[in-house]
Structure 1
Protein backbone atom coordinates (compact mmCIF):
# COMPACT_ATOMS: atom_id res chain seq x y z
CA UNK A 1 0.00 0.00 0.00
CA UNK A 2 1.29 3.45 -0.98
CA UNK A 3 1.76 6.09 1.63
CA UNK A 4 -0.81 8.87 1.26
CA UNK A 5 0.19 11.89 -0.81
CA UNK A 6 -1.72 14.70 0.87
CA UNK A 7 -1.40 17.98 -0.95
CA UNK A 8 0.07 16.37 -4.07
CA UNK A 9 -1.78 17.03 -7.32
CA UNK A 10 -3.41 14.10 -9.08
CA UNK A 11 -0.92 14.04 -11.96
CA UNK A 12 2.03 13.82 -9.60
CA UNK A 13 0.30 11.07 -7.64
CA UNK A 14 -0.31 8.99 -10.77
CA UNK A 15 3.28 9.46 -11.95
CA UNK A 16 4.68 8.55 -8.53
CA UNK A 17 2.46 5.46 -8.30
CA UNK A 18 3.40 4.39 -11.84
CA UNK A 19 7.15 4.90 -11.45
CA UNK A 20 7.26 3.29 -7.99
CA UNK A 21 5.91 0.12 -9.61
CA UNK A 22 8.36 0.48 -12.52
CA UNK A 23 5.57 0.80 -15.08
CA UNK A 24 5.90 2.78 -18.29
CA UNK A 25 3.05 5.03 -19.40
CA UNK A 26 2.32 2.46 -22.12
CA UNK A 27 2.11 -0.41 -19.60
CA UNK A 28 -0.24 1.54 -17.31
CA UNK A 29 -2.32 2.57 -20.31
CA UNK A 30 -2.76 -1.09 -21.28
CA UNK A 31 -3.82 -2.02 -17.75
CA UNK A 32 -6.45 0.75 -17.77
CA UNK A 33 -7.54 0.32 -21.42
CA UNK A 34 -6.62 3.88 -22.37
CA UNK A 35 -3.97 5.40 -24.62
CA UNK A 36 -0.47 6.34 -23.51
CA UNK A 37 -1.35 9.95 -24.36
CA UNK A 38 -4.21 9.79 -21.84
CA UNK A 39 -1.78 8.75 -19.09
CA UNK A 40 0.55 11.57 -20.14
CA UNK A 41 -2.26 14.13 -20.04
CA UNK A 42 -3.21 13.00 -16.51
CA UNK A 43 0.40 13.14 -15.30
CA UNK A 44 0.82 16.64 -16.76
CA UNK A 45 -2.52 17.79 -15.30
CA UNK A 46 -3.95 18.63 -18.74
CA UNK A 47 -6.93 16.34 -18.08
CA UNK A 48 -8.45 14.45 -15.20
CA UNK A 49 -10.09 11.02 -15.39
CA UNK A 50 -13.78 10.49 -14.69
CA UNK A 51 -14.98 8.65 -11.58
CA UNK A 52 -15.17 5.25 -13.28
CA UNK A 53 -11.53 5.55 -14.34
CA UNK A 54 -10.47 6.79 -10.89
CA UNK A 55 -11.98 3.60 -9.43
CA UNK A 56 -10.01 1.51 -11.96
CA UNK A 57 -6.81 3.38 -11.08
CA UNK A 58 -7.41 2.82 -7.35
CA UNK A 59 -7.97 -0.90 -7.95
CA UNK A 60 -4.90 -1.16 -10.17
CA UNK A 61 -2.68 0.41 -7.51
CA UNK A 62 -4.60 -1.19 -4.61
CA UNK A 63 -5.39 2.17 -3.04
CA UNK A 64 -8.49 3.47 -1.36
CA UNK A 65 -10.35 6.14 -3.32
CA UNK A 66 -9.88 8.73 -0.59
CA UNK A 67 -6.08 8.35 -0.76
CA UNK A 68 -6.19 8.85 -4.50
CA UNK A 69 -8.75 11.66 -4.70
CA UNK A 70 -8.48 13.72 -1.54
CA UNK A 71 -4.85 14.65 -2.08
CA UNK A 72 -5.84 16.94 -4.96
CA UNK A 73 -8.59 19.53 -4.45
CA UNK A 74 -8.93 19.93 -8.24
CA UNK A 75 -9.77 16.23 -8.60
CA UNK A 76 -12.24 16.36 -5.72
CA UNK A 77 -13.99 19.36 -7.31
CA UNK A 78 -14.04 17.72 -10.75
CA UNK A 79 -15.62 14.53 -9.45
CA UNK A 80 -18.22 16.49 -7.47
CA UNK A 81 -19.07 18.51 -10.60
CA UNK A 82 -19.26 15.33 -12.70
CA UNK A 83 -21.67 13.84 -10.17
CA UNK A 84 -23.82 16.97 -10.23
CA UNK A 85 -23.85 16.96 -14.04
CA UNK A 86 -24.94 13.31 -14.16
CA UNK A 87 -27.76 14.08 -11.73
CA UNK A 88 -28.92 17.02 -13.88
CA UNK A 89 -28.84 14.88 -17.01
CA UNK A 90 -30.85 12.13 -15.33
CA UNK A 91 -33.50 14.63 -14.20
CA UNK A 92 -33.60 16.08 -17.72
CA UNK A 93 -34.13 12.60 -19.18
CA UNK A 94 -36.96 11.81 -16.75
CA UNK A 95 -38.61 15.18 -17.45
CA UNK A 96 -38.39 14.50 -21.20
CA UNK A 97 -40.04 11.11 -20.87
CA UNK A 98 -42.79 12.45 -18.59
CA UNK A 99 -43.59 15.36 -20.93
CA UNK A 100 -43.77 13.15 -24.02
CA UNK A 101 -45.95 10.58 -22.24
CA UNK A 102 -48.22 13.36 -20.93
CA UNK A 103 -48.60 14.72 -24.47
CA UNK A 104 -49.48 11.28 -25.82
CA UNK A 105 -51.85 10.80 -22.88
CA UNK A 106 -53.68 14.05 -23.77
CA UNK A 107 -54.23 12.82 -27.34
CA UNK A 108 -55.44 9.42 -26.14
CA UNK A 109 -57.74 10.96 -23.55
CA UNK A 110 -59.19 13.30 -26.17
CA UNK A 111 -59.91 10.32 -28.42
CA UNK A 112 -61.40 8.25 -25.59
CA UNK A 113 -63.69 11.04 -24.39
CA UNK A 114 -64.80 11.82 -27.93
CA UNK A 115 -67.35 14.46 -28.79
CA UNK A 116 -71.09 14.59 -28.26
CA UNK A 117 -73.94 16.82 -29.35
CA UNK A 118 -76.55 17.58 -26.71
CA UNK A 119 -80.31 17.99 -27.32
CA UNK A 120 -79.84 21.72 -28.04
CA UNK A 121 -77.40 20.91 -30.85
CA UNK A 122 -74.33 22.10 -28.88
CA UNK A 123 -71.12 20.25 -29.57
CA UNK A 124 -69.21 19.13 -26.46
CA UNK A 125 -65.64 18.01 -26.97
CA UNK A 126 -62.40 18.12 -24.98
CA UNK A 127 -60.79 20.48 -27.51
CA UNK A 128 -58.37 21.84 -24.91
CA UNK A 129 -56.58 18.47 -24.69
CA UNK A 130 -55.20 18.73 -28.25
CA UNK A 131 -53.16 21.96 -27.82
CA UNK A 132 -52.06 20.80 -24.35
CA UNK A 133 -50.91 17.52 -25.91
CA UNK A 134 -48.94 19.39 -28.59
CA UNK A 135 -47.44 21.67 -25.95
CA UNK A 136 -46.21 18.73 -23.86
CA UNK A 137 -44.83 16.97 -26.93
CA UNK A 138 -42.98 20.11 -27.99
CA UNK A 139 -41.57 20.65 -24.49
CA UNK A 140 -40.55 16.98 -24.37
CA UNK A 141 -38.76 17.22 -27.70
CA UNK A 142 -36.93 20.40 -26.68
CA UNK A 143 -35.94 18.80 -23.39
CA UNK A 144 -34.79 15.69 -25.28
CA UNK A 145 -32.59 17.76 -27.60
CA UNK A 146 -31.06 19.52 -24.59
CA UNK A 147 -30.37 16.11 -23.00
CA UNK A 148 -28.71 14.81 -26.19
CA UNK A 149 -26.68 18.01 -26.61
CA UNK A 150 -25.35 17.78 -23.04
CA UNK A 151 -24.58 14.09 -23.44
CA UNK A 152 -22.68 14.66 -26.69
CA UNK A 153 -20.83 17.65 -25.22
CA UNK A 154 -19.82 15.60 -22.16
CA UNK A 155 -18.42 12.79 -24.36
CA UNK A 156 -16.20 15.14 -26.35
Structure 2
Protein backbone atom coordinates (compact mmCIF):
# COMPACT_ATOMS: atom_id res chain seq x y z
CA UNK A 1 0.00 0.00 0.00
CA UNK A 2 1.30 3.42 -1.00
CA UNK A 3 0.43 6.51 0.99
CA UNK A 4 -1.34 8.96 -1.29
CA UNK A 5 -2.38 11.48 1.34
CA UNK A 6 0.06 14.38 1.10
CA UNK A 7 0.81 15.96 4.47
CA UNK A 8 1.17 19.41 2.91
CA UNK A 9 -1.85 19.28 0.59
CA UNK A 10 -5.11 19.26 2.51
CA UNK A 11 -7.16 20.10 -0.59
CA UNK A 12 -5.56 17.38 -2.66
CA UNK A 13 -6.30 14.92 0.12
CA UNK A 14 -9.95 16.01 0.21
CA UNK A 15 -10.24 15.53 -3.56
CA UNK A 16 -8.58 12.11 -3.46
CA UNK A 17 -11.14 10.96 -0.91
CA UNK A 18 -13.78 11.50 -3.60
CA UNK A 19 -11.89 10.34 -6.66
CA UNK A 20 -9.90 7.29 -5.52
CA UNK A 21 -11.69 4.09 -4.56
CA UNK A 22 -10.04 2.65 -1.45
CA UNK A 23 -11.12 0.83 1.65
CA UNK A 24 -12.03 3.09 4.54
CA UNK A 25 -9.42 1.34 6.69
CA UNK A 26 -6.69 2.57 4.34
CA UNK A 27 -7.96 6.16 4.47
CA UNK A 28 -8.25 5.98 8.25
CA UNK A 29 -4.66 4.75 8.58
CA UNK A 30 -3.25 7.53 6.42
CA UNK A 31 -5.24 10.32 8.04
CA UNK A 32 -4.50 9.01 11.54
CA UNK A 33 -0.76 9.09 10.78
CA UNK A 34 -1.11 12.82 10.06
CA UNK A 35 -3.45 13.38 13.01
CA UNK A 36 -6.02 14.75 10.54
CA UNK A 37 -9.73 14.01 10.57
CA UNK A 38 -12.24 13.66 7.75
CA UNK A 39 -15.74 12.66 6.77
CA UNK A 40 -17.59 12.00 3.53
CA UNK A 41 -21.19 12.08 2.39
CA UNK A 42 -23.67 12.61 -0.43
CA UNK A 43 -26.22 15.28 -1.26
CA UNK A 44 -28.62 15.79 -4.13
CA UNK A 45 -30.72 18.94 -4.33
CA UNK A 46 -32.04 21.86 -6.33
CA UNK A 47 -31.43 24.10 -3.31
CA UNK A 48 -27.95 25.40 -2.52
CA UNK A 49 -29.02 26.02 1.10
CA UNK A 50 -29.68 22.29 1.48
CA UNK A 51 -26.22 21.50 0.13
CA UNK A 52 -24.62 23.83 2.68
CA UNK A 53 -26.79 22.47 5.50
CA UNK A 54 -26.00 18.83 4.66
CA UNK A 55 -22.25 19.46 4.68
CA UNK A 56 -22.41 21.49 7.90
CA UNK A 57 -24.48 18.77 9.57
CA UNK A 58 -22.04 16.05 8.52
CA UNK A 59 -19.10 18.07 9.84
CA UNK A 60 -20.78 18.62 13.20
CA UNK A 61 -22.00 15.03 13.58
CA UNK A 62 -18.57 13.62 12.80
CA UNK A 63 -16.88 15.97 15.26
CA UNK A 64 -14.85 17.84 12.64
CA UNK A 65 -16.22 21.17 13.87
CA UNK A 66 -17.99 22.36 16.97
CA UNK A 67 -21.30 24.03 16.28
CA UNK A 68 -20.89 26.28 19.32
CA UNK A 69 -17.59 27.78 18.11
CA UNK A 70 -18.17 30.58 15.65
CA UNK A 71 -14.66 30.48 14.18
CA UNK A 72 -15.01 26.80 13.26
CA UNK A 73 -18.45 27.14 11.71
CA UNK A 74 -17.42 30.33 9.91
CA UNK A 75 -14.35 28.66 8.44
CA UNK A 76 -16.39 25.65 7.34
CA UNK A 77 -19.02 27.89 5.75
CA UNK A 78 -16.45 29.74 3.66
CA UNK A 79 -14.82 26.49 2.53
CA UNK A 80 -18.24 25.14 1.51
CA UNK A 81 -19.15 28.30 -0.40
CA UNK A 82 -15.82 28.30 -2.24
CA UNK A 83 -16.30 24.65 -3.25
CA UNK A 84 -19.92 25.29 -4.25
CA UNK A 85 -18.83 28.27 -6.32
CA UNK A 86 -16.50 25.96 -8.25
CA UNK A 87 -19.27 23.42 -8.82
CA UNK A 88 -21.70 26.07 -10.06
CA UNK A 89 -19.11 28.12 -12.00
CA UNK A 90 -19.48 31.13 -9.76
CA UNK A 91 -23.28 31.28 -9.71
CA UNK A 92 -24.33 29.46 -6.54
CA UNK A 93 -27.98 29.42 -7.58
CA UNK A 94 -29.46 26.02 -8.34
CA UNK A 95 -33.24 25.58 -8.40
CA UNK A 96 -33.87 29.26 -9.12
CA UNK A 97 -32.24 28.75 -12.51
CA UNK A 98 -33.50 25.19 -13.01
CA UNK A 99 -30.31 23.36 -12.05
CA UNK A 100 -29.88 20.38 -9.77
CA UNK A 101 -26.81 18.70 -8.32
CA UNK A 102 -25.95 15.20 -7.23
CA UNK A 103 -22.73 15.44 -5.24
CA UNK A 104 -20.39 13.46 -3.08
CA UNK A 105 -18.48 15.55 -0.56
CA UNK A 106 -15.49 15.22 1.70
CA UNK A 107 -14.32 17.41 4.53
CA UNK A 108 -10.74 17.25 5.82
CA UNK A 109 -9.40 19.05 8.88
CA UNK A 110 -5.70 19.14 9.61
CA UNK A 111 -2.42 21.00 9.87
CA UNK A 112 -0.87 21.21 6.39
CA UNK A 113 2.02 23.48 7.37
CA UNK A 114 5.27 22.46 9.03
CA UNK A 115 5.11 25.54 11.26
CA UNK A 116 2.58 24.66 13.98
CA UNK A 117 1.73 28.34 14.43
CA UNK A 118 -0.09 28.23 11.07
CA UNK A 119 -2.78 26.25 12.88
CA UNK A 120 -5.55 24.08 11.54
CA UNK A 121 -7.20 24.30 8.15
CA UNK A 122 -10.34 22.80 6.66
CA UNK A 123 -10.95 21.65 3.10
CA UNK A 124 -14.29 20.83 1.47
CA UNK A 125 -14.32 18.94 -1.82
CA UNK A 126 -17.36 18.34 -4.01
CA UNK A 127 -17.65 16.01 -7.00
CA UNK A 128 -20.66 14.86 -8.95
CA UNK A 129 -23.12 16.08 -11.53
CA UNK A 130 -24.96 19.30 -12.27
CA UNK A 131 -27.56 20.10 -14.87
CA UNK A 132 -31.19 20.54 -15.75
CA UNK A 133 -33.55 18.64 -13.47
CA UNK A 134 -34.05 16.01 -16.18
CA UNK A 135 -32.31 12.63 -15.86
CA UNK A 136 -29.51 12.33 -18.39
CA UNK A 137 -29.05 16.06 -18.98
CA UNK A 138 -26.33 16.60 -16.41
CA UNK A 139 -22.55 16.71 -16.62
CA UNK A 140 -19.67 16.23 -14.21
CA UNK A 141 -18.60 19.01 -11.92
CA UNK A 142 -16.00 19.52 -9.19
CA UNK A 143 -15.22 22.14 -6.56
CA UNK A 144 -12.73 22.71 -3.75
CA UNK A 145 -12.71 25.16 -0.88
CA UNK A 146 -10.00 25.63 1.74
CA UNK A 147 -10.01 27.93 4.75
CA UNK A 148 -8.04 28.40 7.96
CA UNK A 149 -9.72 27.77 11.29
TM-score by length of 2: 0.23
Q: Which has the higher contact order (CA 8 A, sep 6+)?
A: 2
Whichever structure has more helix as a proportion of its residues is 1
Larger radius of gyration, structure 1 or 2? 1
Which structure has greater strand proportion?
Answer: 2
What's the TM-score once normalised by structure 1's chain length? 0.22
